Amino acid sequence: MHTDWLRAQTAAFADIAVTLSESQQVVTCPEWSVRTLVAHIGHAHRQAANIVRTGEPEQFRDPRTAELPRDWAPWLRDGADELADAVTAARDNQVWAYVGERPAFFWLRRMLHDTTVHAADAAITAGLVPHVPADIATDAIDEALELISLPGAEALKPDFVNLRGTGQTLALRSGEGDTWLITRTPQGPVAGRAATGEADVTVTASAQDLLLLCYGRAGVADVVVDGDRDLLTHWLANTSL
């Protein structure tokens, strides 16, 4: 399932990227050009595949200076295939990750959702409305909240230390029927699916819009907010991946 999703999202990204000028500024990542975004995706897939094969850390390349072939689309698709094949071969092997050793599947899922968000970036830059299938968006929210809740997650992003709290709660409620509850504890946030969404602040939107909100590609004006808006604003300022 996730390998198919990775290939599909990479293809979606490639199909839009090839229509853009390589020097064009990415609207939602203004410090990057389209060329830099393409280099990031293509090289990150290949370097993640190498981590999966060796189990060892890999220094990710600076996409602003990384080489890039003339024909982007097949190169991007080949990188997704390389990562998918590496994870399939690795099975349940434990490999290096940002937060200690994790199953090889960690990198398939991480790169899938990184690619999904950047496919949305490409769509927005092209003046198109992003389209993230609800099942992918839902899994991406699960993955983002799992990352934030992992012991040692502050090594991934130092701002996560600001997410500690004294029991404040946030709920994300998707139009597709899923609800996530986040509780800020003194040790860090605890998050996961919930049967109900009673919280200090509740955000309601489609799974796609909740995902884009979590990644800083949408704003609070794009969703319905009930409750403590300051709590939500603080959370978003410290969690965008």
For residues 100-123, average pLDDT? 97
User: What token pair was written down for 171?
Assistant: 């709920």
Predicted confidence band at 151 (pLDDT cuts at 50, 70, 90)?
Answer: confident
Taking the CB of residue 158, how many other CB atoms lie within 10 A of it?
A: 9
CA distance 25 to 85: 32
Angle in degrees, 0-180, between the axes of helices 229-239 and 207-214, rounded to the nearest 10? 70
Q: Kindly report the backbone phi and psi dihedral angles of residue 189, in degrees, each rounded to the nearest multiple of 5, phi listed first.
A: -75, 145
> Over 70: is that where the pLDDT of 197 sits?
no
Q: Which two tokens stand for residue 207?
A: 């799974």
Q: Enumerate domains of the chain plus CATH numbers.
A: 2-131 (1.20.120.450), 138-239 (3.30.1050.10)
**Among 147, 123, 112, 131, which residue's Cα sits nearest to residue 241?**
147
pLDDT one-digit tens code per residue, 37-68: 999 999 999 999 999 999 999 888 899 999 99
Backbone angles phi, psi at 137, to 5 degrees: -60, -40
Collapsing DSSP to helix, strand or coil, 59 comes out as coil
